[in-house]
Every structure is written in C-alpha cells, then in structure tokens.
Amino acid sequence: MAKTPASKTPSAKRSGKAVDKLLPPDLIGADIGGESPQKAGPVPADAEISFSYAETQGEGGDTRQVAGDGIATLTTQQGIPVADDQNSLKQGARGPTLLEDSHFREKIFHFDHERIPERVVHARGYGAHGFFELTDSLSDVSRADIFQRVGERTPAFVRFSTVAGSKGSPDLARDVRGFAVKIYTQEGNWDLVGNNIPVFFIQDAIKFPDLIHSAKPEPDRDFPQAQTAHDNFWDFISLTPESFHMIMWTMSDRAIPRSLRTMEGFGVHTFRLLDAAGKSTFVKFHWKPKQGLQSVVWNEAVKINGADPDFHRRDLWDAINSGDFPEWELGVQLFDDAFADSFDFDVLDATKLIPEELVPIRIVGRLVLDRVVDNFFAETEQVAFCTQNVPPGIDFSNDPLLQGRNFSYLDTQIKRLGSPNFTHIPINAPKCPMAHFQQDGHMAMRNPKGRANYEPNSWGATQGGPRQDPVRGFTSFAEVADGPKQRVRSESFADHYSQARQFFVSQTPIEQKHIGDALVFELSKVERPDIRARTVSHLLHIDATLAATVAHGLGLALPDPAVAAREPITDLPPSDKLSIVKNGPASFKGRKLGILVTDGADAAIFKALIKAVDAEEAVYEVIAPKIAGVTLSDGTTVAAKHKIDGGPSVLFDAVAVLASAEGAALLSLDAAAKGFATDAFAHCKYIGISAEAKPLFAKAGIADDLDEACLPLADAGDAKTFIAACRALRYWPRELKVDLDAEKRTY
C-alpha cells in the first residue's frame, strides 16, 4: 500500500467528549495532558477541535497543550515564548533539520550538559575490543573503504549499555540496550551508534529531553532508579502515541536479554550508501548474534539483579577470557527511492522498521569481540561515540531524530570529557593518518606542526599543512531540499499503531503473555487511574485482547479507544524475525549449567555431565553447601564456585541437582536450596535430577508437578540426553501452570 500524500490526507476531527470518557470528573480540564489538543480549562462538551497532523503531530493522544487561563507560556531560557515544542525546524515537512533552530539547540544543549560526570543516558555500560571482517563486498553500492576488500579485518570497540539507569544501577533492568560500535577504518572512525531494538520512542529529536526526563527518577524524589514503572513515564507515553511501537518492544522480553551476547543490534535510522558517482542507496544496519537470541523472564530478572547486579558484565568478561568470543554478523537492508515511495510507512520515521520479509538482509561482515579492556575508565568510560562519524561512502538521511542526534552527540561528548580534544584520548583516536589545523584547547595532547595554522596558505608542502581532497574526501548526497521553513511533523509519520500491532501478532503466545504481564506490572505502579486508562485506550488499536488483558489485570473498566491520527492497517502480515523464541539458538553452546552437588553424590554421573557439557561447548559452575566444595562417591574432591545461598538458579540457563541421600536430606532443610529448585521450576528451565535428590523437590512442594523438562539423571548415560534437551533453553508450557491469570489469556 502506497503512502497517502500529505496533501490528500484529511484532517481528523474529534469531540471534546472523548476526553471526558477517560478522566474522573474532578480531573476534567485539569492540566494532566488529555487525549485531545488541550487548552487550559474544561473542554466544552460540544466543542469541535480540528488540527491537521502536520500542525499537531497527531490527534491520537495529541501533546499540543496550549497555554492560557492560568497555565504559563513555555519560553526559552532567554524568556522568548515558544510556539511549538513538538517539532524541530525543517526545510519542508520531510526535509533536513535547520541549524538556525535556536530553541532546539538550546533545549538539546541544556539536556546534554545536565549531568556531571556520567553520561546523561547510557551511563551503565560495558565494552570490549575486537575486529570487523568484511565477508561480502559492498563496492557495488558504496565507495566506503571498509566495504571494499573481503577478508580484511578492521579494529573495533563495542560498548553495550542500558539507557535510563545510573552507573550504579543493575544490569537486568527492563530497558533498551545501547549497542554502539566504533570501527577504526582507514578513512576515519565509523561510529554506528545503535540499540538492541530497531525502532525508537519518538520521531523528532526535540522530544528526546522530554522522553528521558520522563523515564529518569522523578525530580522531586529522585526515584525510582532504572525503572519506567512510574507516573511520569507513562504520562508522557500515553500522550505520545508515536511511542507505542517501541512500547511493544520494551514490554517484550527484548528489554531483558539473557546476555549481551544474545541480543541483536540495529542502526535504527535509515542511512545512505554512496558510490563513486554519488549515486545513493538507502540502508538499514543490523547486527545478528551468532549465539542466537535469548532473554530471561521478569521474575528471573528481578532476582538476578539481587543475586548479581553485574550479571551481563560478568558474562561478557568470562566469555571473552575463556576464548568463547562473541560474534555478530553485519547485515544490511538495501533499498531505493522506488521502494521508499511504495512502502506503507515513511523510511525517515525512526518509530518504524522494514520487515525482513519485504527487504531481505544481506550479510556483509562479522564482528568478533576477542579482548577485554585493560582499564575500564580509560577505555569503556572515556569512549566517545558520535553518530555523525561516518567515512566517505556512508551518509545520512533526513530522519529528524538522526539529524538531531548528529548535532547533540558532539556537544555532549565535549561537555562530558571536558574538551573538544577528546579525540586525543587513545580509545577515541583514529588509527589512520590525521592532519588538520585545529589546535590548543583544554587537554591538548598534540598540536599541528609547521608554520601555518590556516588555509589557504602559500607555505608549501613542508610548512603549509594539509589540503582538502575532492576525490577521496567526504561528500554528502546531492539531495534537493525544497519547501518552506516550518515546524511540522510530516503526515507520512502519522500511523502510530500498525507496526505496533504487527510486532505483537508476530510473537508466540508465551511472548504475547509476557508483554501483557509487563504492561500490567508497569501500570500497576502508576498511581493515577486516568494515566492507566489513557494507556489502555491506545492498546485497543494494537490488539483488543491485549487491551482487555491489561485492563483486567489493573481492575480497570475498558475505556474507549484513543482517537487515532491515522487509522491503523490491520492486515500487516506477521514477521517471524520479530520473535525471540522463533530465533533462538540451535544448541546449548555458550550457555551455563548450574550443578548443585552434595558430599557423596554419584561421581560417575557428575563426570558424565561434565563431559556432555564440554562436548556441547557449554560451561558449568558448581554450587555446594560450603564454598570449599564436596567429596564425590569415589573420593574425588570438587571445588565449588558458589555457596548455595550465593548461587541461586537464576544465574544459570539450566540446572542439575546431584545429591547423596544424606546430602538431599540436608538440602531439604535449607531455604536457599528449596528456592534453587522452585525458582528453576517457575522459570521454566530444564532440570536434571538424580534419584537421591528427589526429596528436595518434595520438600520444595513441586515433586508432583515435575514435567517432561525435569529429566532423570539415574546413570551416566542420562547426562548426554539431558544436555541435548537443554538446547531448547525453556519449557514454556510450564508457565501456564504457575501463573494465576494464565488461563484467561486467549491471544
């Protein structure tokens, strides 16, 4: 279906009555951000309020809230009244963002500088060194040097991060994960600054400070930390319908990955590739993990954060140091203007993706992380990514979120690292030759040599310094931008729900259940009933059963649907690539088995289990009643990695319990041991159980519930069968038996 031209898209109209249905009587007309273009004071019941999408950003939960009747006028820091706080200034509705937008620049500048010394966002990060290797030349579409020679390896550094939490927050917060890659190419650094989710909450960078302010701890109380389960976040989201595609992703298991090694990375935006003749091809970048996709469940994430808040850091550190190097394939979606014009959605809209079924991914390289940092602060903390760092042959589109990021990142790195000389820090320095006339400044480690510090000059090659290179130098796509200077959102950005629905219907039933559970949990922490109702009103456009499930979980009467800026497309086909369960690993390789062992446990079974783990190229850790370890039935001593109350089952992908009769009796008296068993069962993990260990499961109250994923370890031959079964990672049918509301879900 082609996009409806902006000039032919009718302006929707809505009655003020729609607001009243979502608000308690005492809040009608209050300054809470209603469901319509909101003027101060009550909306008359018979009022007709009409705005085009280009004027308001969209009527479904419009955020154009107007001053007056006691509500102050928004101004700049110089006191200049602001007419539009929703859209940056552009050259035409889909044109580039203009540098003269002083309000946007002031807002972004202040936001970039409001935290000292940690990053405003992505403060909690972890990095590693590696290399990028080209496996398929892109010389047919790009002159970028890095895309020319198959087999060539280029140094790289990757920093993974959460977004909302501080440096001291836990790894398993429900959050977007940053996936920032710095590749030190022969023509300068390429910073592909992406996330583990291919879309974003907002369409225009001018709203980024508002988004992050809403997600951060509330300013009057400075909590909750690293959580979005509070009024401010959901108030903003429920008034920003463009966010609901991203909400489906962040409420899914994508936001609680099992490991940094088992999540995808995305460039998010549409970029351009340019060939030697200047011809443009649109591109979207994807990182596909060779380890397969895997996440945890929410209850498990909460307990991991208590047991090991450094879970993701430790996992990456251990994997690299053990020689199990994480690896991703770089894939590209390439398309031209004809596809962009025929696509149902605007390729410049960062809240949209292009399904792989429509534009298949072409694998062109691989990224391998094979070395940990020598010093965390010097490398991981001081690394500075800037989205505008691209080599010749890669260029930007007019995505207004990308254009704003290009402006913001340089400013925030200068503030955070204290000087424009942050490129002198080794982790940020290019590994190719550099020559320029920029000099001095705070923390300058080097200065240009020679007499001239300007150009043009007549001092010659020795003293005169570098000159521009029209042949090899960076050039931008010669795009014609035409249109009036205006603050607008293109009508082609107005569909907020279609891809959100497509993502939801692409999930397996258990993944859909988890999205419903997450929404109920998050909204249960919201104190204002009208914000909960307003959120559910948007869910009705995504999936009626999902909306009903969330309303039921909150004890909320189902509200009327929010008025949509554009009616969603209801027949977009599911995309299997959007599901984690459908894209899991084919083996247990790289996963971790936790083995709870007592004195006197069968040595033959233990040794067979270790052999099977090694054959699968997995890892194991031993948990015992005492950290000194145990003595097996044949007198062999085995050291423990964890004492039982410090090694809960949430830290492992699967567990086995090997005990003697006497050892099982002791474990049955221990609360931590019983919790080890019950959590592994509740989290749908595969469990291996020796015959002597069964009393522990009886005392834990789950002996009668053990299912086909609870496998016996009666002799050494069972070990191989058990490890093979663990390749499935989870036995999801079990969850339906341990969830109070599970039988009510009929997705």
Contact 104, 88 (CB under 8 A): yes
CB-based contacts of 614, cutoff 8 Å, min separation 6: none
Phi, psi of 487 (to 5 degrees): -100, 100
Its sign, for the CA torsion 183, 185, 190, 192, is negative
Degrees (nearest 5) of the Cα angle 269, 366, 651? Answer: 90
Identity (one letter) of the amino acid at 117?
P
> What's the rounded Cα separation, in Å, for the pair 230 and 247?
14
**Token digits of residue 6:** 């902006």
Which one-letter DSSP state was computed for residue 401?
H
Contact 192, 285 (CB under 8 A): yes
Question: What CA dihedral angle connects 351, 352, 353 and 354, to 10 degrees?
Answer: -160
Cα–Cα distances (Å) from 321 to 155, 172, 369, 372, 653, in that order, read 18, 22, 10, 8, 20
Cα atoms found within 13 Å of the Cα of residue 337, Cβ hemisphere only: 4
> What's the rounded Cα separation, in Å, for the pair 649 and 653?
8
Its sign, for the CA torsion 134, 140, 141, 144, is positive
Which one-letter DSSP state was computed for residue 574?
P
CB-based contacts of 697, cutoff 8 Å, min separation 6: 677, 689, 703, 706
> What's the rounded Cα separation, in Å, for the pair 538 and 261?
34
Q: Which of 685, 730, 734, 655 is nearest to 292 (CA)?
A: 730
The conformational region for residue 712 under phi > 0 = left, psi -120 to 50 = alpha, else beta, is: beta
> What's the rounded Cα separation, in Å, for the pair 430 and 423?
8
Catalytic-role residue among 87, 103, 122, 129: 122
Residue 219: other Cβ atoms inside 10 A? 8
Q: Which of 278, 328, 312 is nearest to 477 (CA)?
A: 278
Whether cis (ω within 30° of 0) applies to the bond prior to 219 is no
Contact 533, 21 (CB under 8 A): no
Pairing of strands 485-487, 89-91: antiparallel
Q: Can 195 be counted among the known catalytic residues?
A: yes
Catalytic-role residue among 103, 129, 189, 195: 195
Q: Which of 230, 248, 256 is nearest to 174 (CA)?
A: 256
CB-based contacts of 483, cutoff 8 Å, min separation 6: 90, 91, 92, 93, 95
**184 forms bridges with which residues in the sheet?**
189
Contact 526, 231 (CB under 8 A): yes
Degrees (nearest 5) of the Cα angle 255, 260, 263? Answer: 60
> What's the rounded Cα separation, in Å, for the pair 52 and 58?
7
Q: Can 538 be counted among the known catalytic residues?
A: no
Q: Which of 500, 346, 536, 489 is nearest to 51 (CA)?
A: 489
Contact 206, 404 (CB under 8 A): yes
Q: Which of 130, 601, 95 is nearest to 320 (CA)?
A: 130
Contact 163, 200 (CB under 8 A): no
Question: Over the Cα atoms of the chain, what is R_g?
Answer: 28
- Residues labelled catalytic: 122, 195
